[in-house]
Structure 1
Amino acid sequence: MPSRFWGIRQNLPRWLKIVISTTALLVPLAVWSLLSYRAWVTPIFLPTPTAVLQAGRQMFIEENLLLDVAASSYRVFLGFMVAAAVGVPSGIAMGTFQSMESLFSPIVGTVRYMPVAAFVPLIVLWLGLEEQTRVTIIFLGIVFYNAIMVADAVKFIPNELLSVAYTLGANRLNVLMRVIVPAIIPSIIDTLRVNVAGAWNYLVISELIASENGLGFRVVQSQRYLQTDKVLFTIALIGLIGLLTDLAFKLLFNLVTPWAERSTT
């Protein structure tokens, strides 16, 4: 058992994975239940799990929470897709051509350290208070990380692999489209899977701007009225949506790149 539990890059038995995952979920829930049901923490700070579930039921039935889910999912999806459409090709160009790296790296390397929240007044000034403002905030939050992570993936391709392609008669376009791009597809999927979490994080910031719906808006509104049970349920709902998205990316990874399945987590 110790050798399996602490094995480096060794597969665990399915039953052990289930036990570890279940424990990781049940221990925090048990601590939460102990603190809240015994009233060791004031309910306004930590409501019981039952109260949170009841608040969620009320939000779905009486407050049309599905509309908020749909609105937030649309914003995240649109901002994420635009960031992928811009960031992935930019990353491939930066990792492949030193000229493109010299052109984009100073901008990408500098702007990605700047907090997106600092740009909010400018974005509002330029784009107004419409939907595109919220989508732009999500886009800016993740597009530079997409570019940097994809560029790094390209740089990890061995030079020997490119030399072999040239030796076999490939030109630069062949090397790019038939060697580099297929080689980094697993890294692209992993990059998008990681950064979609950032899209949900920036959602709350984006929905602070004159928004009338959305899960981020719901969190802020509930906080304003000290409705901690609704805040916790909405946060848990975002986490659940994120978990399902993560599982979808893992499924896509296994379907598109089955050869890389054993070498990634």
Structure 2
Amino acid sequence: MQGAPAISTPAAGAPVRRRGLAPLEPVSLRARWMLGLAFFVVFVAVWSFFTLGGFVSPTFLASPVTMAREGWLLFTEYNFIHDIGMTVWRVLGGFVLAAIVAVPLGIAMGAHKGVEAFLEPFVSFCRYLPASAFIPLLILWAGLGELQKLLVIFIGSVFQVTLMVAVTVGSARRDLVEAAYTLGANNSGIVKRVLIPGAAPEIAETLRLVLGWAWTYVIVAELIGSSSGIGHMITDSQALLNTGQIIFGIIIIGLIGLVSDFAFKALNRRLFVWSAI
């Protein structure tokens, strides 16, 4: 009787060969860049096929060629660089204001359970309120100027950052806190020397994530009562059924956000070299 086929096993100490798509298997930096670029190439190819091939009306979706031509006109004839600058300023202004308020408040909530019990229900309640719902009130309170747009971004960001920072600080290792007490640290020293340094990399990562959300709020703010900005350009283009300019504006937002995200990551790695972020 023929025996069952033998199953080969790796010799002791021999490296285990894994497939390229094995779960949690890391890829090289070069492969990561190539794969990311490949997706955009496929995306543009599919987009070109349906638009340049006549399968979709230009009224509903402009082709990549039309989009690039309209983008060039925006920069050369309509001073689009000014709109980009105004939008970036609004995002950074509102987000920095939110961070200045939210980070200390979140640290206080995470470090002191009494503060958390007092503020957490209100912060959690406000976290679910859409920032766009405040626009009519903010127009009444602050008018149609820059303050109204900064406040939309502030409201959309501050409660999210506060709660996320509080959770990060509150999840500190208890053994480190007890060791600091044993070494003679007081309550203030625990916060300054244990909780904040330990949570700093995660707080920076929280700010990076919420900065992406701030871009959605600024476009909403610019869609109403604005005379400049990328959102204003998109609104004007929609009235003219110029989908090429609309798509170009959306892509510019994505590119700026991508650059800011990479910059934030690089800064976090430099500031917190002990972190795995």
Rounded to whole Å, the distance in 2 between the matches of 1:102 and 1:129 is 37
Alpha-carbon distance in structure 1 between the residues aligned to 2:65 and 2:49? 12
| 2:146 maps to 1:131 | yes
Q: CA deviation at 1:23?
A: 2.1
Aligned to 2:232: 217
Q: Which residue of 41, 47, 51 corresponds with 2:56?
A: 41
Match of 1:16 among 26, 31, 36: 31
Aligned to 1:66: 81
Quote the Cα distance in structure 2 between the aligned partners of 1:6 and 1:94. 41
Alignment of 1:100-111 (within 5 A): 100-111=115-126
1:228-239 counterparts in 2 under 5 A? 228-239=243-254
Q: 1:158 aligned to 2:173?
A: yes
1:140 pairs with 2:162: no
Specify which structure has the higher proportion of helix: 1
> How many residues of Structure 1 are paired with residues of Structure 2 in the alignment?
261
Q: What is the match of residue 200 of structure 2? A: 185
Q: Quick one: percent identity of the two aligned structures?
A: 37
Contact map agreement 1:5 1:12 (CA 8 A) in 2: no
SS state at 1:212 partner: coil
Structure 2 residue aligned with 1:244, among 259, 265, 268? 259
The one-letter code matched in structure 2 to 1:19 is M
For structure 2, which runs of at least 5 residues remain unmatched after alignment? 1-16
Indicate the SS of the match to 2:19. helix
Structure 1 unaligned residues grouped into runs of 5+: none
Equivalent in the alignment of 1:253 = 268
Deviation at 1:2, TM superposition (A): 5.5
**Normalising to structure 2: TM-score of the pair?**
0.91
Amino acid at match of 1:6: A
What is the rounded CA distance, in whole Å, between the counterparts of 1:222 and 1:100 in structure 2?
48
Deviations 1:138-175 (A, max 9, x none): 11011111001111111221111111111111111111
* Kept after mapping to 2: 8 A contact 1:134/1:209: no
Please say if 1:84 is aligned against 2:133: no
Deviations 1:25-66 (A, max 9, x none): 222111111111101111111211111011000000000001
Q: Which deviates more, 30-39 or 236-245?
A: 30-39
Larger Cα Rg: Structure 1 or Structure 2?
2
Runs of 4+ deviating beyond 4 Å: none
Normalized against structure 1, the TM-score is what?
0.95
